[in-house]
């Protein structure tokens, strides 16, 4: 199968080539997919896209006219794809719902520790031969309360790590997992209480029409004064202007971001010789208690390998005219049941645990995508177990 791989970066190409083993004709393109680049897919049966590509309805129409019938998303999130329109056109879409929950969770902890212990400022001081410790006082993670918004695989791995620190854990998720409570003493509560009681809040929620800016001024005002907020989920979940206002007032004590709501066209590119035109993003840099990384939380060798393996698996299945294991079909299901996790992702590890499904909870704004993940990974009530920490 001929597939055009949009938004290809040097760090991932070798993984895709190795996983492909010359089975498919891969055309690597550095450009992002958008209305101006659909012509690059001419003659291809499939395209592979990344987080900040544009697969909106007009773009899908152009791809379909060019002969593209399959879309492989090299990420877990697929909010960049007009999925109903793709299905209307008869196009198949698949994502990588699980590449490495450890990479994201560990990066979230790295942001917490760097902000808490003022590592960026400490490094700057020492490089200028300033060995004073003024302004570098942090706090013990042990005994602090950390709220996790979105307690799937990534949130579950984060709970395991923070439990090792001796943190008290609160969680919010429309589908609570009793195993996290049993193993790590995580207490599920309302979203409002997570914000009100936590010293640190870590966001791991998907982005859709319901979750856009659902963390705004009202929730931020519920934070403990001086609390820390970490977002390694989706940029659009957080109202950046509201976060800036909370930083200016001093109510928000620290902010760690790996995602930004207007990162498309900004992240993954070199803008070092251009003026920064995004005033909101520029304002974030004015705060010493803000630490931003450019959507790199996923960037580990293991994650890149798993993403490559899954992407090629999609192409293999489509070549055989079969449904891919992680093919998306609307919000509540997939075209095929997922095979054993180890068969698709030999570089990841898992541990079975029971799933507890409950009725709708208040502010269940990301229920539908979470249920889709559950069905896709065999986590719905029809299955007795699920892999640890999605």
> Residues with catalytic annotation?
234, 263, 295
Bridge partner list, 94: 72, 327
Could you tell me if 203 and 178 are in contact, meaning their C-beta atoms sit under 8 angstroms apart?
Answer: no
β-partners of residue 227 are 252
Single out the residue of 240, 259, 308, 248 nearest to residue 17, CA to CA. 308
Contacts of 59 (CB under 8 A, 6+ apart): 33, 34, 35, 38
Q: Are strands 333-334 and 327-329 parallel, antiparallel or unpaired?
A: antiparallel
The DSSP element (H or E) to which 308 belongs, if any, is helix 301-319
With a CB cutoff of 8 Å and minimum separation 6, the contacts of 258 are 107, 108, 111, 231, 232, 292, 293, 294, 295, 296, 297
Residue 223 and residue 170 in contact, taking contact as beta carbons nearer than 8 Å: no
């Amino acid at each position: 199968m001929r597939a055009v791989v949009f938004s290809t970066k040097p760090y991932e190409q070798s993984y895709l080539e190795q996983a492909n083993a010359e089975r498919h004709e891969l055309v690597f393109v550095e450009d992002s997919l958008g209305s101006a680049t659909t012509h690059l897919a001419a003659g291809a049966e499939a395209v592979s896209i990344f987080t900040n590509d544009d697969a909106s309805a007009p773009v899908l129409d152009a791809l379909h006219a060019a002969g593209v019938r399959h879309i492989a998303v090299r990420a877990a999130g697929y909010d960049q794809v007009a999925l109903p329109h793709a299905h209307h056109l008869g196009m198949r879409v698949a994502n990588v719902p699980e590449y490495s929950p450890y990479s994201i969770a560990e990066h979230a902890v790295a942001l917490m520790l760097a902000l808490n212990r003022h590592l960026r400022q400490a490094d700057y001081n020492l490089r200028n031969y300033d060995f004073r410790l003024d302004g570098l006082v942090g706090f013990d993670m042990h005994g602090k309360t950390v709220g996790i918004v979105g307690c799937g695989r990534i949130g579950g791995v984060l709970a395991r790590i923070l439990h090792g620190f001796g943190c008290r854990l609160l969680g919010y998720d429309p589908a609570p997992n009793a195993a996290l409570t049993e193993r790590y003493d995580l207490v599920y509560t309302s979203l409002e209480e997570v914000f009100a009681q936590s010293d640190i809040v870590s966001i791991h929620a998907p982005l859709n029409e319901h979750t856009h800016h659902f963390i705004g001024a009202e929730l931020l005002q519920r934070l403990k004064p001086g609390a820390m907020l970490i977002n390694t989920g989706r940029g659009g979940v957080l109202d950046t202007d509201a976060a800036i206002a909370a930083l200016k007032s001093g109510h928000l004590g620290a902010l760690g971001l790996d995602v930004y709501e207007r990162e498309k066209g900004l992240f993954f590119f070199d803008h070092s010789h251009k003026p920064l035109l995004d005033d909101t993003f520029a304002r974030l840099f004015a705060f010493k208690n803000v630490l931003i990384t450019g959507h790199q939380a996923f960037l580990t060798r293991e994650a890149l390998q798993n993403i490559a393996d899954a992407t090629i698996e999609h192409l293999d299945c489509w070549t055989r005219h079969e449904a891919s294991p992680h093919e998306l079909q609307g919000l509540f299901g997939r075209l095929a049941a997922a095979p054993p996790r180890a068969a698709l992702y030999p570089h990841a590890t898992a541990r079975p645990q029971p799933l507890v499904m409950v009725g709708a909870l208040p502010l269940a704004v990301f229920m539908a995508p979470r249920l889709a993940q559950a069905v896709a990974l065999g986590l719905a009530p029809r299955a007795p177990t699920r892999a640890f920490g999605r």
